[in-house]
């Protein structure tokens, strides 16, 4: 009975360890984050200076990024890109429609009779 209880405890501990390893928080430095995002260091600095991307600067000198925050940023950013492109298409169509409508002060073209 004691052996069975020990085995059960060991099994539970192994499951807990496995879950903790799967949910491990990955911290990336600037080089790793730039490589992970496939962008240049200067582009990453630009995003951080504009506060467009989540970052951490605990000692006030070095930049660090959490991988899960970058993943969320990528997903949210792609949704914004889709929304922005839809808005741009809509705006372009409106401009096209406006350019087809005669304006108040536009002169009408005179056509010669046949």
Domains of the chain: 25-94 (1.10.10)
Residue-wise pLDDT tens digits, 53-73: 999 998 888 999 999 899 999
pLDDT bin (cut points 50, 70, 90) of residue 84 is low
Helix (H) or strand (E) holding 65, with range, is strand 64-66
With CA atoms as reference, report the closest residue to 54 among 22, 80, 37: 37
Residue-wise pLDDT tens digits, 12-55: 888 877 766 766 778 999 999 999 999 999 999 999 999 999 99
Query: Does the pLDDT value for residue 1 go beyond 70?
Result: no
Alpha-carbon radius of gyration of the chain: 29
Task: Return the pLDDT at 44.
Answer: 94
């Amino acid at each position: 009975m004691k052996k069975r209880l020990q085995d059960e405890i060991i099994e539970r501990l192994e499951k807990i360890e496995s879950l903790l390893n799967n949910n491990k928080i990955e911290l990336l430095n600037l080089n790793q984050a730039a490589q992970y995002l496939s962008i240049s260091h200067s582009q990453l600095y630009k995003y951080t200076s504009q506060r467009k991307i989540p970052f951490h600067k605990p000692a006030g000198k070095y930049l660090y990024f959490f991988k899960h925050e970058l993943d969320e940023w990528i997903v949210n950013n792609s949704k914004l890109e889709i929304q922005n492109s839809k808005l741009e298409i809509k705006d372009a169509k409106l401009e096209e429609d406006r350019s087809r409508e005669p304006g108040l002060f536009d002169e009408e073209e005179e056509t010669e009779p046949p």
